[in-house]
């Protein structure tokens, strides 16, 4: 089933006269992991924010289950957003440094769900355990956590609304190699267990190949190639894709 469909999406930053996303179209199917790869500055994160209306597009359509998100009110979008979540690249910058880990997650229940204080705490502990932490992390500040632990908190926060679709925006790029593997394994396990759908963004083809079913290649705001990871990696058609592959160390 087509879960998310984006048609001719465009975004120009007028201050710098830069078209960050240039008539991009693609579909994401329920239960799949779709990769988006390209060098830094090619528009990947901008596209992610546009898809969730964290940025407003200049042109195009964003259909979620057949409903155009660009034609609904901010109130309706707020209700819909619980089904569409994001895990950010920097696990420290995306957390309030003054807010304890438990409160980071409990805040989601306070905003999106009518849940009592005691139930919020129990659900928060359950989520912490789901991402490989536990009750002992409830009262820890981000500064008291490692990068991998912070990212696990970010993942728990994204899961708190029981979403169908999660954008993973470079979720392991700022982590050590060994921690990257742990977080990738956690994301794969959660995707299978909860039947989640991911748009997984990375500049690392090795990471994309380890987690994604299909991949799209982005250059200067445009999608230039797409297909199964196997086909794109073995038989790239675009010169830019060939360059990316030549510069990557793939397993």
For the segment 184-207, what is each residue's pLDDT rounded down to a tens digit? Answer: 999 999 999 999 999 999 988 888
For the segment 61-108, what is each residue's pLDDT rounded down to a tens digit? Answer: 999 999 999 999 988 998 898 899 999 988 788 888 899 999 999 988
Quote the percentage of the chain above a pLDDT of 70.
98
Which pLDDT belongs to residue 75?
Answer: 87
CATH number of 2-44+58-247: 3.40.50.300
Scanning the structure block, which residue is given the tokens 């790869």?
A: 37
Residue 237, Ramachandran bin (φ over 0: left; ψ between -120 and 50: alpha; else beta): alpha
Other CB atoms within a 10 A radius of the CB of residue 235 amount to 9
Residue 132, Ramachandran bin (φ over 0: left; ψ between -120 and 50: alpha; else beta): left
In a 3-state reduction of DSSP, which class is residue 207?
helix
Rounded distance between C-alpha atoms, residue 163 and residue 51, angstroms: 15
Residue ranges per structural domain of the chain? 2-44+58-247
Average pLDDT of the chain, as a whole number = 91
């Amino acid at each position: 089933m087509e879960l998310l469909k984006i048609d001719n999406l465009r975004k120009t930053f007028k201050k710098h006269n830069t078209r960050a996303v240039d008539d991009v179209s693609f579909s994401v199917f329920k239960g799949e992991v779709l990769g988006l790869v390209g060098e830094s500055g090619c528009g990947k994160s901008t596209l992610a924010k546009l898809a969730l209306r964290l940025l407003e597009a200049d042109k195009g359509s964003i259909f979620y289950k057949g409903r155009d998100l660009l034609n609904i009110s901010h109130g309706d979008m707020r209700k819909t957003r619980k089904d569409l979540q994001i895990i950010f690249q920097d696990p420290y910058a995306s957390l309030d440094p003054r807010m304890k880990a438990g409160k980071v997650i409990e805040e989601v229940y306070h905003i999106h769900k009518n849940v009592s204080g005691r139930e919020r705490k129990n659900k928060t502990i359950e989520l912490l355990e789901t991402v490989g932490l536990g009750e002992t992390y409830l009262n820890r500040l981000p500064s008291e956590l490692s990068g991998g632990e912070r990212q696990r908190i970010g993942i728990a926060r994204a899961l708190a609304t029981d979403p169908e679709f999660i954008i993973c925006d470079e979720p392991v790029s700022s982590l050590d190699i060994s921690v990257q593997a742990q977080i990738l394994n956690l994301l794969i396990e959660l995707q299978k267990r909860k039947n989640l759908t991911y748009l997984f963004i990375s500049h690392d083809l090795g990471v994309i190949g380890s987690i994604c079913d299909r991949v799209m290649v982005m250059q200067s705001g445009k999608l230039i190639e797409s297909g199964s990871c196997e086909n794109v990696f073995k038989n790239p058609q675009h010169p830019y894709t060939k360059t990316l592959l030549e510069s990557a160390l793939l397993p």
